[in-house]
Structure 1
C-alpha cells in the first residue's frame, strides 16, 4: 500500500468533497429526473495531471475512501485490453479497500459490497465481439451485465465510473455513449488524463448530458518537487529530445534510424554506469519504438545485438507479438530493452526507463505527450535522492527530425497545466415543492421549478457522425491538373465509343459545333522512335560521372547535424547543435535509385540500369578502381549513391537524349465538329466557336483572355485534349508524353514554329511534374508557356502570371504578368 504524497492529498479531498455534495443531493432527491439533474451539475470530474504524477493512486484513493461513506460499486474503464491488468495490479497492491472483480467471470450480485471494482474496456461491453455478446446476455451461471446493474441498484448500490486515460478511453460515438448514459447512468464519474487538451472530454460530456464538468488539475512542478527542491520527486525535472538533420543532398543517404539507436545506446550505457557509481542497484530500461513495417522488429533486434545487447535482455511487445509478461517488464531487470510499436506507448508504466529511441514520425501532440510520459517517471529507488544531472533527465532520440516539433508542442502543453481545485456547482439547490423534495437548477438566482423530466439540454444529444459537415464550396477549385487528367482518362473510353454514332446521327437535344473553315485542320505531335538502342546508347555516353561523383559513390558515411533540445526548463526549448557522422543507409539509397529508374516510361528499367552500370564500371577502371568495377554489389551501391545524391543527373541526360532522338509528325486531322449535351457558350476565337465544356475554372478564365484579346495577336485557340490521335504531345525526359492545355495561333510568331504557341495552365507550380512541363520543348512549336493564376480566390485581384523554371534554385517561379501582345516572344 502506498500512502498519497502530501501534494496529492488536497486534490483527493477536493474530489471527495464534490462526490459528497452529489451524495447529499441524491439522498434528498425523490425521482430519477432529480438524480440526473444532480449528476449533471455535481457528479462528474476530470482529473488532469502529467504522467507519473500519481493519477491512478489519487483516483484509487478517492474510490477507496468514498466507498466507506457511500454504498457504491465502481466500473473502472481502461482504454486498451493490455492496460486492464496493469490497473488491476495497481488497485490490488495499493488499495485494499477496493475488491477487484472480473466482469466476464463474476457477475453475481449476491455478496457484493461497497468498493467492489470491475476493471474493463469499452470494447468488452459495447463491441460486437463474442466476449462482449456473452457479457450482455444471461447465462446459466451469471446474469447479463445489464441485469446485474438493475440488481445492484435494486440492492441500494450507486454506480461509480472511473475512465482511465480519458484522452483515449472516452468517446462520443453512439455505442459507448448509450452504454454510459443510458445503461450505466453513473451517479459518480471520474475521468483521469495526462493530456491537457480535453476537447474529447468536452464532446463526451456534452453528449452525456453533463452540464458542468468539474476540473481538478495538478501542475507538473508539484510532482517534480514533491520531496523538496533539488531532490528527486515522482517525475524528472526535464526531458531532452535529440533529432538529426542533414543537407538536402545527403538527406536520402544518412541512416537516421541507426544514428538514433546508436546515440540512444551510448546514453543508456552512461546512465547504467552512473547508477552503478552511485551504488544504486537498478538496471535502466531502454525503449525502442519501431515503425509499422513487417520486418521492423527483427531489424531492430539485429541492430541491438550488434550494439552489444544479449538476446535474452531484449523483449518485444506488439499487437502481433504480445509479450505474456508485458506488465512485469517494468520490474524484471533481466530485460534491458523493450521493442514496441504503438500500444506500449499508451499508458504503460516504465519507471526504469530513461531513454527511448523512436523510429516513427510523431505528428500528433497527444501521442507526443504519451511518449514523453514513458520516460518521465522516477524509479522508487531514486525518489528522495539528490541526483546528478544525467539522471535528472529523460532522453528521446528521434529518427524523424520533424517529430521534434511534436515533442516541443507536447512539452508546452504539459507546462500549461496549472494547479486547480473545484467546488460544488452554484447552479443547483434542493427545494421543497408541493410537499416533495426536488433538485432544481438555479437561473438568474431563481430555481427553475419544474416537476417533470429535466430539460433536453441537460440530457444531451449524440453528436453528428464524423464527416457529416459539408465540404466548403471553394474546395473543388483546388483540384489539381493531375486529377483533371485522370478524369479525362476515365471518360475517354466512353467518348470514343459514342463518336462514330454521333458523327452520322446526332441524338435529339445534342448540340453540334462545326470546326471553322479557316481553322487549322491538323497539328504536329512529338514522339520517340520505336527503336530504343540509340536512345540507351546516348544516355550511357552522355551521363556525367566525374571524379567527385565517383568518390561519392565509394563513401560509407556522411556528416549530419545532431539537434538536442531541452524541454520543461523554460518557455522556449533549449537547443544545442553538433556535427556527427552517420552511416549511409545503402538499402534505402538503392530503393530510391530503383524508383528513379522505374519512373522511365519508355525504356526498360533493367536495360537502363545495365547501360548505366556499364558506363560507371568503365569510369572506375579508368580511375584505378578496377576492384569496384569487378564487384557487382559495390558497383550497384555506388550507382545508387550517385543517383540519390544527384537526383537531376539521370533526368537531365534523359531530357537531352529524348530531345535529340524524338521526332515530330502530323497528327490525325481534327474532328469536323464537337458535340455537347448542353448548349456551350459562344467563343469569338475558338476554332469550333465555343468554350469547350471540359475546361476547369482557371482554364475558362485564361480562354476568355485569349478570346477577348484587343490587340489582334491571338488568331485562334484550340483546347488540346490529352491522349487523342489528333492531340499535340511533347515528349518528357522519362519517355512519357505531355499534352499542353491550349494550342494558340499567334500573329507575328516565328514561322519556324508555324505561328503556334502551346500553353499549359497550372494551379500548382511547385511539383516535380510542373517543373518537367516547364522545361521540355516541342521540336516544332518550342516549350509550352506555363500560366498560373495569382490570387485566384480573390476575383478582383487575380492575375495571370507566366512561370519560368529557375535552374539555380531548381524550382518554378512566377515570372511576369501575362500579356497577349507578348505571345510572339514567349
Structure 2
C-alpha cells in the first residue's frame, strides 16, 4: 500500500485557500438558490496556478477530500484532463493519496443509485463532448445506463452540488475553447469550477471567460521558490551550448553532437546517484520534430544516432501519436529505460521525476509548450529529496538545444532560447536573460535606388572582348581588368555599362536639353597601324607554352598525385581520428552567475566529412575527383597493409577526406609537383610579326615592337618604362605577354587554370631558353586583391622551362619584389626589386 504523503507548507496553504473559496460559494448558493447559475459563473470559478512538479494533482485531490461532509449538500466532481494518458495517471494518484474519494469512470459507470459525496469522474473533454462514437454512446440513454446529461440531472434531483476540475486548463482553452465552453455552460452547468495550470495563458483564459461568460474570481498562486524549498522542484535549470574547436564545426553532425552532450550529462548524473548510494536510474528525454510528408522518420533518425554514440537500443523507448507506447506512463518508473524519444504528447502532465536531461532537436512551440517540456525535468525524485540542495549536479535539470548552426541561423536559435526563457518566467520571479555567441549581423540595405538599366553579362568570348575593350577605351574600366578571370571581367563590364547608362541619363530626366553649339568635329576613332617585330634584339621565334598533362595519361597522373599526397599528409594519424574534443557550457537560467564547463569527446560524422570534402577534391576541372579519390584509397590501402594496420574501406575514405579538408595545401602541392613533371610544353606558335596598336605610341628602346603597347595600366606602363631604362645591361629586350593569346606563354596552375605573367624579358646571363624571365605586376602590396586565393596559387608555381616568375609591386614609389611565405600562407614583401636579380633561377 502506498504511503500517504504529508503536505508541504505551501500545499497546505493552497488546500486551505481553495477549500475556503468553495465553502464560501456553497454558502452563496444556499442563501440565494434562485441565482445559482449567476453565482457559479461570477463567483464560483477559482484558478490554482502552481509550477509543474509542485503536486497540483495532490493539492486538488486533498481539496475535494476535505470538502466531503463540509458543505450543506454532497458534491459530485467531474475532473477533466487534456489527454487520455493523464486520465490514468490522475486516477492512480487520487486512489493512492486521496482515500476519502471514490474514483469513477463515466464511460462505464453511469448508475445514479449509490452516488455519494466526494465521487470523482475523471475523463477528457473528448469523452463526453466530441462527436465520435464513444462520446455519442456516453451521451445516449440505454437500458444499461443513463446518458451523461440524464446522469447530471439525476444528481441535481437528488440534491447534489456539481463541481468541475479542469486540469492543465491552458490546454483546454485552445482551439476547442468554443466547444468546451458550450458543453460546460449548456450541459454541465457546474456550481463550482477549479482551474489548475502551471502556465496560465491570459489570452486563452480570457477567450474562455468571454465565450463561457465566466469570471475567475479567485486565484491561488504558488511561487516557485516555495516548491524548491520544499524539495519538489530542482534548484536550477541549466542550458547547455556546445563549443566546437576551430575547424571542427563542419566535421560534426550537430544533432548527434547535441545527443552526445545530453548523454554525457545523463551519465554524469547516473554516476553521481551511484556515489550517493541512491537506487535511481535517471531518464533522458529527447524531443523530435514532426515527420514531414514523404520525409524521413525523425524518431528512427534520432534512435540510430543514439545507438551510434553508445546507447543500448533496448534502453530506448519511443512515444508518439504514430507510435504510442501502451505502457507509456510506466516508462517513468522503468529503470531499464534510459532514453525516451517523444514529439508532443509527453510534454504535458507526464510525471517523470527521474528525468534530469532534455535534448530538443526541434523548435519549441512557444512559451507554454516550452515550459511544460522543461517541467518534465524539474521534478525531484523522492529518493533524492533527503539530499536536496546539497549536490549541484543533482539539483539542476539540463536542457540542450540543437546547435544554432542547424537552426535557421543564429537569430532563430536566439528566438528558441527566448521561448524557453519566457515559459520559465512564468514560474519564477527573477530571471536574467543571457545570450550566447555573437549576435547575428544584420544586412544593411542600401537606400540608393536601383538603376533603371542593368546590362546582361556577355554570352561568349568575342562579345566579352568587344565590350571590355570599348569600356577601357572610354576610360570607364581600368586596363588591368584584361588580366583578370572571366568572372571578374564580366562583373566589370556589367558595372561599367551600368554606370555609363546612369551617367548618360539627363540630370533632369526627360526635360528637353538645349542644343550645344558646334565648335568642331567630333574626335574620330583611333587609327590603328602595325608595328613590326624588331630583328635587332635577338628575339625568340616563339615562346614556350605549358599545356595540361596528356588526358590519355590521367590514370598515371592521379596515382602519382595519390603517392605524393599520402607521403606528405598525416594519413595514418587521420585514419585513427574518429573523435574530437569540444566543450559543453552550462549556464544556470535561475542563477545566472553560475556556469560550468564539461569536456566532451564527439564523434566525427562520416557523412559531414564527405559532404564538406567535396570542394577539396574538386578544384581542378581536368582531374576527375572520383578517379583521384579511388587512387588515394588504393595508395592508402597499400600503406596500411604494409604496416599491418586493419582498416575498413569507409575508414580509408574518411581519412582521405579529412586530409583533403585539413591539409588542402599539401594536396595542391602534390598536384603542382606531379603536374610539373607531366605538363607538356609547346613552342609551335610563333611570336606575331606585327603588333597592331594606335598610331603615335611612344617609342621604347628595348620593346620587342619598339613602342610601349596600348592598354597598359599605370603600374604596367611605369614598370615597362623601368625595364626600358635599364642601364646595367641586364635587360636585353622585353615584351608584353597578353592574356589568352594563343602565342603567349602561360603556366598551368594546380587548379587547371592558366596563368599569363605580364611581361617576358630577355635577361643577359640567365640560363633559360632564350634567356627569358617572366614578371608579374600587381597594383600594390596592401589591397586584398594581392592576397586572393588565385594570386596565392599563382605565386607558388614555376614555368617548366622559364622557371621562377618574378612578382613585383610599387610601394612609396619603389618597386618591391614579392614572395610567398609558406608559414603565413600569404604574399609578403621580400626586398627592393633589382633587375640584376633577374639572372637568378629562384
TM-score calculated relative to the size of structure 1: 0.54
Residue by residue over 1:693-752, the C-alpha shift from the partner in whole angstroms, topping out at 9 and shown as x without a partner, is xxxxxxxxxxxxxxxxxxxxxxxxxxxxxxxxxxxxxxxxxxxxxxxxxxxxxxxxxxxx
Instruction: Give the corresponding residue for 1:335.
Output: 337
Equivalent pair of 1:19/1:43 in contact (CA under 8 Å):
yes
Instruction: Give the corresponding residue for 1:495.
Output: none
1:315 aligns with 2:335: no
The structure-2 alpha-carbon separation of the partners of 1:589 and 1:308, relative to structure 1 and needing over 3 Å to count, comes to closer
The structure-2 alpha-carbon separation of the partners of 1:185 and 1:253, relative to structure 1 and needing over 3 Å to count, comes to farther
**Which secondary structure state, in structure 2, belongs to the residue aligned with residue 192 of structure 1?**
strand
Which residue among 180, 199, 202 is the counterpart of 1:198?
202
Residue by residue over 1:730-787, the C-alpha shift from the partner in whole angstroms, topping out at 9 and shown as x without a partner, is xxxxxxxxxxxxxxxxxxxxxxxxxxxxxxxxxxxxxxxxxxxxxxxxxxxxxxxxxx
Equivalent pair of 1:164/1:193 in contact (CA under 8 Å):
yes
Instruction: Give the corresponding residue for 2:120.
Output: 117
Which residue among 368, 371, 374 is the counterpart of 2:373?
371
Residue by residue over 1:74-111, the C-alpha shift from the partner in whole angstroms, topping out at 9 and shown as x without a partner, is 11111111111001111111111221111111111111
Which runs of structure 2 are paired with 1:108-507 in the superposition (5 Å)?
108-171=111-174, 173-226=177-230, 233-244=231-242, 253-293=251-291, 295-306=297-308, 309-386=311-388, 387-401=390-404, 402=413, 403-416=416-429
- Tell me how far apart the structure 1 counterparts of residues 252 and 298 of structure 2 sit (CA, whole Å): 18
The structure-2 alpha-carbon separation of the partners of 1:405 and 1:638, relative to structure 1 and needing over 3 Å to count, comes to farther
Deviation of 1:322 after TM superposition, in Å, equals 2.2
**Which secondary structure state, in structure 2, belongs to the residue aligned with residue 123 of structure 1?**
helix
The structure-2 alpha-carbon separation of the partners of 1:98 and 1:573, relative to structure 1 and needing over 3 Å to count, comes to farther
Instruction: Give the corresponding residue for 1:100.
Output: 103
Deviation of 1:168 after TM superposition, in Å, equals 1.3
Residue by residue over 1:25-77, the C-alpha shift from the partner in whole angstroms, topping out at 9 and shown as x without a partner, is 1112242xx22221233211111111111111111111221232232111111
The structure-2 alpha-carbon separation of the partners of 1:145 and 1:8, relative to structure 1 and needing over 3 Å to count, comes to same
Instruction: Give the corresponding residue for 1:692.
Output: none
Larger Rg belongs to: 2
Equivalent pair of 2:172/2:180 in contact (CA under 8 Å):
no
- Tell me how far apart the structure 2 counterparts of residues 409 and 642 of structure 1 sit (CA, whole Å): 45
**Which secondary structure state, in structure 2, belongs to the residue aligned with residue 389 of structure 1?**
coil
Q: Greater relative contact order (Cα 8 A, min sep 6): structure 1 or 2?
A: 1
Which runs of structure 2 are paired with 1:517-536 in the superposition (5 Å)?
none
The structure-2 alpha-carbon separation of the partners of 1:21 and 1:311, relative to structure 1 and needing over 3 Å to count, comes to same
**Which secondary structure state, in structure 2, belongs to the residue aligned with residue 406 of structure 1?**
helix
Instruction: Give the corresponding residue for 2:607.
Output: 587
1:567 aligns with 2:589: yes
Deviation of 1:222 after TM superposition, in Å, equals 0.5
**Which secondary structure state, in structure 2, belongs to the residue aligned with residue 415 of structure 1?**
coil
Residue by residue over 1:616-674, the C-alpha shift from the partner in whole angstroms, topping out at 9 and shown as x without a partner, is 6578899999999x99867987999899999xxxxxxxxxxxxxxxxxxxxxxxxxxxx
The structure-2 alpha-carbon separation of the partners of 1:612 and 1:112, relative to structure 1 and needing over 3 Å to count, comes to same
Instruction: Give the corresponding residue for 1:73.
Output: 76
- Tell me how far apart the structure 2 counterparts of residues 27 and 643 of structure 1 sit (CA, whole Å): 85
Instruction: Give the corresponding residue for 1:9.
Output: 12
- Tell me how far apart the structure 1 counterparts of residues 133 and 89 of structure 2 sit (CA, whole Å): 24
- Tell me how far apart the structure 2 counterparts of residues 181 and 411 of structure 1 sit (CA, whole Å): 33
Deviation of 1:407 after TM superposition, in Å, equals 2.8
1:57 aligns with 2:61: no
Structure 1 stretches of 5 or more lacking a match? 227-232, 419-533, 597-604, 647-826
- Tell me how far apart the structure 2 counterparts of residues 399 and 131 of structure 1 sit (CA, whole Å): 41
- Tell me how far apart the structure 2 counterparts of residues 61 and 69 of structure 1 sit (CA, whole Å): 13
**Which secondary structure state, in structure 1, belongs to the residue aligned with residue 426 of structure 2?**
helix
- Tell me how far apart the structure 1 counterparts of residues 314 and 228 of structure 2 sit (CA, whole Å): 34
- Tell me how far apart the structure 2 counterparts of residues 575 and 406 of structure 1 sit (CA, whole Å): 21
- Tell me how far apart the structure 2 counterparts of residues 25 and 619 of structure 1 sit (CA, whole Å): 89
The structure-2 alpha-carbon separation of the partners of 1:339 and 1:56, relative to structure 1 and needing over 3 Å to count, comes to same
- Tell me how far apart the structure 1 counterparts of residues 234 and 580 of structure 2 sit (CA, whole Å): 34
